[in-house]
A and B are shown apart, each in its own frame.
Chain A
């Protein structure tokens, strides 16, 4: 049996992941990663309705900073055997982080990455999010509160937290954050540096 591009054919009780084409597997991976962030969105939206923005956002931060970020790193570096404590190592994790670069890709079959990485040297690099699904959602719905939560209150400390998890000497600085004036602008840009 050749590789399946999709599962529009007959049900096969023995079908497993390797029977699918790589492109189909990547589509599944991107889908699972969207669900991962999506279930957080479902919980946050429900808590906003029940308790208001502040409580909901506080809970969301606690979810991520108490355990979720650490789990996110652990599972990704294990799955890809990523080791090290410099900026290239951190960027390798960011490139395939489930709640981050994996969902910020263009459509199949290219899955063009929308997070770009520029490594100045092993101790210094710039990460640019050229298009961000979450920001586009916030802009579309005019939800500035949720945008502020995601970008200022979660991403900013989260990137710093994640970087320090790899190396306590890494400093993270936002070079550009939303809101943006036009959709042609990048979403955000970050500098990571190890002071030597």
Chain B
């Protein structure tokens, strides 16, 4: 039987993931990666409604930086794709398939050498949502309070000597600009 492009046909009690085409599995991966990132946002909204924005911001940061949010994202990909190593190339290989990175953000990775590389987010749905709602507080929090230390944590996870520097962060003047840009370097 040929690979299914979708599941518009009859119900099959024994249908399995392998029955779908690669395109369809990839589509589901993107969809589930987006759901994963959105669920955190829904938690933020509920907590904000109950106890206020200040606590919600504080705990969102705790989830990603202190309770494993950022690193779980990397660990899983490294395990399923057998990514090993302690250089910037290993980090970029992980970002290319991490649900919290390429799963929902358009990224480009430029490796200068194994110890130095530039990561560019050309499109970030979270930034677009914050821009649409004029939510500068949440944007600043996500980009500066979570992403800046989160990127450093991710780098250190691969190699404790890796340093991350933000080359460009939001806000941006126009939607034609990139979302953000990061330099990773092993010193």
Contacts and interface: CB of A to CB of B under 8 A. Distances in A.
A33 B39 contact: no
B25 to A, nearest CB: 4
A80 B6 contact: yes
Nearest to A29: B29
Interface stretch (B80-88, B136-144, B150-158, B169-177): B80-88
Given A29-B28, A66-B42, A11 B84 contact: no
A83 B7 CA distance: 9
Contact of A7 (B23, B50, B97, B109): B97
A81 B68 CA distance: 34
Interface size class, chain A: 35 or more
B116 interface: no
Interface string A95-132: 11011001001000001110011110000000000000
A79 B81 contact: no
Contacts of B159: none
B10 A88 contact: yes
Chain B interface mostly helix, strand, loop or mixed?
helix
Contact of B35 (A59, A72, A91, A112): A72
B40 A81 contact: no
Interface residues of B, number: 62
Interface string B75-103: 01101111110000110110011011001
A38 B67 contact: no
Contacts of A67: 42
Contact of A11 (B69, B93, B103): B93
B80 A28 contact: yes
Contacts of A63: 39, 42-43, 46
A80 B19 CA distance: 12
B32 A36 contact: yes
B93 A18 contact: no
B7 A81 contact: yes
A76 B17 contact: no
Contact of B7 (A7, A13, A23, A80): A80
A4 to B, nearest CB: 8
22 contacts: A7-B93, A11-B90, A13-B108, A17-B26, A22-B18, A23-B18, A24-B81, A25-B29, A30-B80, A36-B36, A39-B40, A42-B63, A42-B72, A43-B40, A47-B59, A68-B39, A75-B32, A75-B34, A95-B7, A96-B28, A98-B35, A118-B13
Closest 4 A/B residue pairs (Cβ) = A88-B11, A11-B89, A81-B6, A6-B82
Interface of B: 6-8, 10-11, 13-18, 22-29, 31-36, 38-40, 42-43, 46-47, 50, 59, 62-63, 67-69, 72-73, 76-77, 79-84, 89-90, 92-93, 96-97, 99-100, 103, 108-111
